[in-house]
Structure formats: C-alpha cells, structure tokens
Amino acid sequence: MTSSLRCLTPAQAGAALGVSAKALRLYEQHGLLTPDRTRTGWRCYDAATMARAAEIVALRRLGLSLAQVARVLDGEPADLDAGLAAHEADLRATVRQTTAALDRVRALRADLAQGHAPSAATLARALAERAPLGVGFALPWPWGGEWFALPDLPALSFLAGPLGSGKTRLARRLAEALPDAAFLGLDRLRGSAMADRLAGDAALADRVEHRLAWLAQDGATRSEALAILLVALESEGPAALVIDTVEEGLDAATQVALMAHLRLRGTDRRALVLMTRSSSILDLDALEPSDLVILCPANHSVPLLAVPHPGGRGYEAVATCLAPPEVRARTAGIVAMRPAWAEA
C-alpha cells in the first residue's frame, strides 16, 4: 500500500492530466490502469501510475479507442501509426485553413492600399475562421417573446430541462436562428434516409464505418440509432448541429463511448448542441470549462446558462433533470401533454 501523502487523489490526478476522475475510472475498468489503494481503500496515483496514465491520455487525444490504446501499450505500433496519421491530416487541414485565411487578409490589405475599403460582408467572410458563432432571437411559446442570446457557441453545448419546459421548441428555434445550422429531430429514427445517403456516398460510408468500429472497441453497441447519428456527424454540412434527445435508442455503454468520441474528435467538423436528459451524455463531473449548459426552467422563465459546479447558478436544477440511462429507459415514451386550447 502507498501512503496517501506520496500520491494523488483521483481528482488531483485528473486535474494534473486534464481529464476527469471518471475518465481515470474508465481506464481502470478496461484494465489499462491500476492505481494503488490507501489503507482505507481510496484510490491513489503515484508517480509510476501517473506516467502510465499520461501515456493513455496522450494516446486517447490521438483518437485511439481504448482497445487500440491497450494494443499500443502492449507494444503493437500499428494503431499508433494510424492515430499519428489522422493527427497529421488534421494538422495539414489546419495549415490549409490558416493559409487561406492569410491569403484573404493579404488581399484585403492590398485592396485597402489601393483605396478600396472592403464591405462589412466581405470582411466578415475573410475573418470567418475567427468569428464567434453567436445568435439572438425572441423566445417562442411557451415563453412570451423575451430575448435570448448566446454571444459565442462553443464546440460542445448541452440543453436540458424537465418535461414540458419547452426545451424542444428552444432547440428548434436555436437551429433556425443560428447561421448555417440544422436540427436533427427524433424523426431521424424513422425512414430509410440514412441507408440512401450511405449508398450514394462511399467516402461517407467509410467514415461512418470507421467511427462505428472505434466506438465498438470502446464498448458501444452497434445500432441503427447510433449509425444515424454518425451519418449526421460525419457528413459535410452545416457549421452547427442541434440534436434532439441524442441518447434516444442508445444503451448506457454506447452513450459513454459516444461522449468519449465527441470529446476526442467528434466536434472537429461543427459545433454541437445536444439536448439530453441522460447523465451519461451530460456528465456534470466531466464538463470542461469551454462547455455550455443551457437550462430551460420548469416555470418557463427565460432559459439560463447554468454554472456547471455544485452551488453554481442552475446546477442543482440541471442535476434534477438528468438520470442514468437505466432510469431513463423506465420512462421511455412518456411525454408532457398540454391542453388543445394552449395551441390557439
């Protein structure tokens, strides 16, 4: 046993590594990490365990699944090469975007030197890579038209609220108001649109299959609901995607794996707003400083930006809206009803 004075607690270890304590437990559950225990049974992370954990975190940031991480740590380099190749491709794409942005700015400066001032629209397009994705609009029913604004939408946002709070209406309105955004509703689970898109786009089908394989290695269950989400995430398309009840049709392990995927690589293409009532999707202990949590209060007051730590504004209200997947499964199909006269 290791003295607690010579090692870190899970919270301290996670903070030092830039991951959550739950992520460290996930590595432990998959046999990648074995922290020591104090005399009272608490996990503790000594220097050797921290070095091992740092390796795991670095490999995960390259986009490797937990199974791939295990193979690399066992001395098999093939998966590491694939991860480095993907990271190299991402860096090259960033270089291309930066080069294009530089060319646009240089062209604007050349025009300005000739006495031609750019229009506001031209300037906005030239600076698009750095422009915030902001939005403001009048709230729909059941609100009274109050103004709601988000000055800058981060890569990952969450929308939560109790049944009947109006969160679906807010999600739809948010997708309408955001520039270049789309709403992915629950009707995604009906029809054959996914199969048609995959049949007509071999490159998309390859990307979706790659992500399905990655998620399966992290414990996800292959399903049509998961494939539909991945088609939307991997498609070329809007700058933002608002997804209604993202956990619909996904079991607990799949939800955990999906969020790990989104944390690692899944928000590269666009900003995501995930409407959810699952604590596996919106894990309050795993939120990052840049994440945004929008709460629709039960009393239909103006939606607010919750402060994601105990005691923060709206934190407890958000927590009461969430439940583990097994609890959510017991209430599947339950919807909030309103009288017909309310539609008038």
The per-residue pLDDT for range 292-305, each reduced to its tens digit, is 899 999 999 999 99
> Tell me, what's the pLDDT at 121?
66
pLDDT value for 286: 79
Question: Which residues lie closer than 8 Å to 95 by C-beta, 6 or more apart?
Answer: none
Neighbouring C-beta atoms of residue 154, cutoff 10 Å: 17
Do the beta carbons of residue 241 and residue 232 sit within 8 Å?
A: yes
Q: What is the pLDDT of residues 205-251, one digit of tens each?
A: 988 998 899 899 888 999 999 999 999 888 887 888 999 999 999 99
What is the pTM (predicted TM-score) of this model?
A: 0.72
- How far is the C-alpha of 116 from the C-alpha of 317, rounded, in Å? 54
CA-based torsion, 71, 75, 78, 81: positive or negative: positive
Among the listed residues 39, 43, 41, 17, the one whose alpha carbon sits nearest the alpha carbon of residue 29: 43
Report whether pLDDT(255) > 70. yes
Which amino acid makes up residue 292? L
The fraction of the chain above a pLDDT of 70, given in percent, is 88
**What confidence score (pLDDT) does residue 339 get?**
53
pLDDT tens, residue by residue, 80-131: 887 787 777 767 766 776 787 788 888 888 888 888 888 776 776 666 554 5
Lateral strand order in the sheet of 271-275: 181-184, 240-243, 271-275, 156-160, 292-295, 304-305
pLDDT in tens, 187-202: 888 866 777 788 778 8
